[in-house]
Amino acid sequence: MKIFFHQSANGPEDAEIIVDCTKLSLQEELAQTRYALEIAYSNFDNVTEPDLIDCYIYEVNAILKRYKYLIEQAADKDLLPEEKHHEIYRALSLFS
C-alpha cells in the first residue's frame, strides 16, 4: 500500500516534497503498531460507555490484524528470529 502526501514548503511551489510512506522500515511499522495497540488497550480500559467499548474492541482487533500481517511480512523476510516468531504468534492467538 502506497500513500503519498505533500509537505508544503515555505519557499516556491517547485520546492514541494513528496514523501513516500512505504519507505518506513518494517521494524518502524511494527513499533508504531505496537504503540497503537497499547493506546487502544489503554482507551478500552478507561471507557464505560457501551458504544465506546464496542469501538475500542473493533480498534484493538483491527490493530491486531495489522500487527499479525506485519509479523508475517517480517518472518518472510527473515527479520525475526525463529523463536521470537512463535512467541509472538502465541501471544496474538490469545486475543484473536
Q: What is the CA radius of gyration of the chain?
A: 18
15 belongs to a structural domain: no
Q: What is the extent of the structural domain holding 32? A: 24-95
Q: How many domains does the chain have?
A: 1
**61 confidence band (pLDDT: 50, 70, 90):** very high
Residue indicated by cell numbers 502506497:
2
Evaluate if pTM is beyond 0.75: no
77 belongs to a structural domain: yes
- The arithmetic mean of pLDDT across residues 50-56, rounded, is 93
2 belongs to a structural domain: no
pLDDT at 63 over 60: yes
84 belongs to a structural domain: yes
